[in-house]
């Protein structure tokens, strides 16, 4: 058996050795398998690299969206906070207005009572004027009767002649006084009628005031009820704003976690890329060193034989 041939079991002839006198066929077969596997590894590395590139782009896009979302959420939170503050200020102002309206309503009710009392007093005054008018008419009647009496007295004095002369003078004076009293009484009665007419006008105005104040009181009461309802609605709105702000805070936390997850994925991607680079270099090294590997394999086989 030559040094370069290998006889296998059953007497079959072994494949020829290579230029170094080693079994070529087995080594080439292994090397082909190695070439195939290295090529597969390199191909898969390329596939993973391409997928990684897409992942990187997707991550960047997602991070950009996350940042936009984060800014929107932060601005929404700011807006909600400002809305809450404005709502609380509005609520305080509405409550203050409600207090003022309630005070105005009470004052209006008081004014209504006073005006009604005033109208009653005027009515009583008109009644007093009527009584005075009756008195005046009595005075007029007395002055008329006095005048008549003075006329009778003068007649009687004339009949008495010389002795009745002094009495006639007195009767004349009584007539003048009765006439003046009658004139004064008539004047007072005229003025009293004017006064009654003016007082009736005041009474009518008072009645209008009472009616107006009554309307104002009712309007204020309605306004008060509406303001209270408004305050309640504003209070509800404030509460909802606070709840919305709380929810936005949760959204912010979620966005923060999302950004952290994207960052971690990005770091994992970088690690993956590095590992991929190492794997590629290793696979390429295997291809480059195939002859050395073949030698090593043959040497190993020889050593084992």
Partner 1 sequence: MSINVSIQAQGAQASVTLRGVLDSMSQATLKQQLEPVLANAGVTQIRLDFSGVQSMEAASAGMLMMLTHTAKSRNKTVGIVNANPAVLSLMHKANLGKVIQIQ
Q: Which is nearer to partner 1, 235 or 266 (CB)?
A: 266
**CA–CA separation, 224 vs 227, rounded Å?**
5
- What's the closest the beta carbon of residue 288 comes to partner 1, in angstroms? 25
Q: Which residues bind partner 1 (CB under 8 A)?
A: 56, 59-60, 62-68, 70-72, 74-75, 255-256, 259, 263, 266-267, 270, 273-274
Kindly state the smallest distance separating residue 250's Cβ from partner 1, in Å. Answer: 16
CB of 241 vs partner 1, minimal distance in Å: 20
Nearer to partner 1, 199 or 259 (CB): 259
Backbone angles phi, psi at 17, to 5 degrees: -80, 165
Specify the residue, 172 or 265, whose C-beta has the smaller distance to partner 1. 265
Q: Which is nearer to partner 1, 171 or 248 (CB)?
A: 248
56 CB-near residues (< 8 Å, 6+ apart): 266, 269
Least gap, CB of 259 to partner 1 (angstroms): 6
For residue 305, give the nearest of 34, 33, 32, 21 by alpha carbon. Answer: 21
Q: Which is nearer to partner 1, 183 or 278 (CB)?
A: 278
Which residues make Cβ contacts (< 8 Å) with residue 60, sequence separation at least 6?
Answer: none
Whichever of 117 and 277 has its CB closer to partner 1, that residue is 277
Q: Counting every residue, how long is the chain? A: 305
Taking the CA atoms of residue 75, residue 79, residue 84 and residue 86 in that order, the dihedral angle to the nearest 10 degrees is 150
Nearest distance in Å: CB 255, partner 1? 8
Separation of CA 16 from chain center: 94
Name 144's Cβ contacts closer than 8 Å, sequence gap at least 6.
178, 182
- Shortest distance, CB of residue 280 to partner 1, whole angstroms? 17
Written as six digits, the tokens of 184 are 């004064």
């Amino acid at each position: 058996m030559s040094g370069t041939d290998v006889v296998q079991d059953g007497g079959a002839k072994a494949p020829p050795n290579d230029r170094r006198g080693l079994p070529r066929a087995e080594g080439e077969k292994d090397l082909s398998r190695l070439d195939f596997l290295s090529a597969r590894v390199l191909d898969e590395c390329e596939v993973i690299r391409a997928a990684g590139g897409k992942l990187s782009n997707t991550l960047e896009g997602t991070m950009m969206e996350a940042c936009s979302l984060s800014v929107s959420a932060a601005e929404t939170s700011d807006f909600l906070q400002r809305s809450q503050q404005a709502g609380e200020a509005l609520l305080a102002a509405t409550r203050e207005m409600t207090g003022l309206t309630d005070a105005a309503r009470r004052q209006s009710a008081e004014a209504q009572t006073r005006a009604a009392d005033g109208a009653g007093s005027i009515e009583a005054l008109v009644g007093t004027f009527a009584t005075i008018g009756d008195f005046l008419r009595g005075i007029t009647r007395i002055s008329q009767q006095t005048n008549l009496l003075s006329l009778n007295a003068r007649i009687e004095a004339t009949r008495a002649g010389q002795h009745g002369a002094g009495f006639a003078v007195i009767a004349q004076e009584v007539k003048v006084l009765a006439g003046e009293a009658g004139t004064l009484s008539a004047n007072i009665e005229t003025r009293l009628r004017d006064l009654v007419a003016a007082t009736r006008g005041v009474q009518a105005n008072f009645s209008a005031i009472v009616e107006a104040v009554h309307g104002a009181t009712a309007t204020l009461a309605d306004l008060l009820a509406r303001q209270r309802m408004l305050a309640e609605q504003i209070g509800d709105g404030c509460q909802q704003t606070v709840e919305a702000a709380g929810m936005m805070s949760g959204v912010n936390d979620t966005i923060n976690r999302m950004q952290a997850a994207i960052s971690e994925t990005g770091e994992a991607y970088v690690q993956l890329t590095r590992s991929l680079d190492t794997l590629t270099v290793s696979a390429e090294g295997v291809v480059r060193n195939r002859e050395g590997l073949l030698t090593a394999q043959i040497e190993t086989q020889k050593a084992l034989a």
